[in-house]
Structure 1
Amino acid sequence: MPNAASLEDRSASRYEMIRDTLRGAILTGQAVPGLVLVEAPLAQLFGTSRVPVRQALNLLHEEGLIRRFEGRGYLIDALGTDAPPLRLALTRQLLGLENHEELIDTRSLGERVYDELSGTVTRFMVFGHYRIDEQLAAQALNVSRSVVREALMRLRDKGLVEKEPYAQWLAGPLTAHAVTEDYELRALLEPDALRQRASALPRAELQAMLDRITAAQQAGAEASRAAIEQIEQDLHVTCLAGLPNARMAGIIRQCQIPMSIGRVLHEALGTSIDEAMLIEHRLVIESLLHGTVDSAALNLREHLLRARERTLQRLKVLSVLPEPELPGYMERLA
């Protein structure tokens, strides 16, 4: 069952955290069967807007853990017992979440909006080219337009969106050519960055990274997407953090956008485990633990080249999948 640690995983999008938390409570029977789930009270409980709550509920509905009924909201009915609707004020206790100390999102409003837009953009950019409307986004997220604009400017700095003078914000498309170029740059820069940072990585932290890989390998198909993303974060973000060359660090971060493809494919197909990736990550971390930095850098380069081919294959799969429902503030361009 997801716990507070899963909520600390800021690399996962907020609707995934909400979905995983509710899913665990429903499957373990901690959430009251028949309880009616409504967007607004859940948004207040999780300290978020309605948008990620709506996405989480849609996924739970597709999984068959909640169902529609003659009324507003969804009804918890994982066992298909046709339990009668139970309309009560939603609390941690009713949802079996009283032990989740960090259930409520305490991030600043700006960070919440940034994370929301970042997750939405990375989710859709693999499907095509989109226009983002500032005003409609502000209305949907219940914030001022200036908060949305600031978040979009940060996304522009990361290379996730662009804006032409006097024009709307644009996102996507993430093409096979762009993916190839990004991985080529990463294969050149990340191994060298790892060489520069290897001596600064605490052994205890490296061992914790290896333990997470081992746990995911043992879990197999049951490994959560949050666990897989943490492993990606360990190698490609934590191990490379603190580079003295800020420009080099910025290029690496911008080129890591294709990492979002794995998350999108997981949502579409319900897949999470990537055995080859886990083996490749293990080789890098074990090399660092043994003090063979050149071997670690070589293994990282080989991992990135193989990951490029896997990512291109995933991009092909996504091209034939149905596009998720667009939020009201995004419009697909021809």
Structure 2
Amino acid sequence: MSDESPDDGGQREFRSGFVCFVGRPNTGKSTLTNALVGEKIAITSNRPQTTRHTIRGIVNRPDAQLVLVDTPGLHRPRTLLGQRLNDLVRDTYSEVDVIGVCVPADEPIGPGDRWIVDQVTRMAPRTPLLGVVTKIDRVTPDKVAEQLMALSALIGAERDVVPVSAKSGKQLDVLSDVLVSMMEPGPAFYPDGELTDEPEQVLMAEFIREAALEGVRDELPHSLAVVIEEVIDREDRPEDAPPMVDVHAILYVERDSQKGIVIGRKGARLKEVGTAARTQIEKLLGTKVYLDLHVKVAKDWQRDPRQLRRMGF
């Protein structure tokens, strides 16, 4: 049924709403969020539970505004941090207008996918579901078709399933159109042009953590947290020099051995982390940045309520 009226010049009624993508680790949820928004607002990694905060990315269209809520992955928790992340996810499921169930085109649907769909339907039984087959650039069209059928069988044949590639951009416009069609008419929640409501300091900490996670062993990802201690405008610059911001951050790990991993031989690893993160932070702030990084051990912080509060969880 069309929402155009014969005398409105073909103008569609403005629609808006909130969307959450769910799926196993490394199904491309954060990458998909970034691609739809058009800017990097969520960090990506091939490590499970990379996302730790609920980050909102905003898709602005002439006819609609979609608010994409990037959440930590739902998992079976082993620590207090894991439990708190799961609680965050459950709260989000009940508040969004659409949940997109993501499975990659290049991996068979398995018990983990079925567990997530079961959890989602239990926690938010009234929230509409949409299937999303990601990473379609990695497989043949026949494999994509097989995965579409498998995902449709998992979530219910009455629900739409859309194939996309965040990397190539293929079908992103189709996914956006389908999501908009599932929204109710309503006003924009954020000013036009705004891409996220996340505070800059949180994004800076996330960019540092993403850089530190690149290429590390399995033991480190869950044990690493980043806290921005201070952000100061550099005032002693020559008049003809561009502005500069000093960013001081601490990377927390749980053991001395992990500290060595982050710092690397003669500090080489930490220097690489600083270079990669500084590039992202300069793009975020639109100015030159001096990034000062220190690594500290906070023993078993994932299980300590006091330390979790200090780190923002």
- Which has more strand, going by share of residues? 2
Q: Which structure has the highest helix share of the two?
A: 1
Tell me which of the two structures has the higher relative contact order, counting C-alpha pairs closer than 8 angstroms and 6 or more residues apart: 1
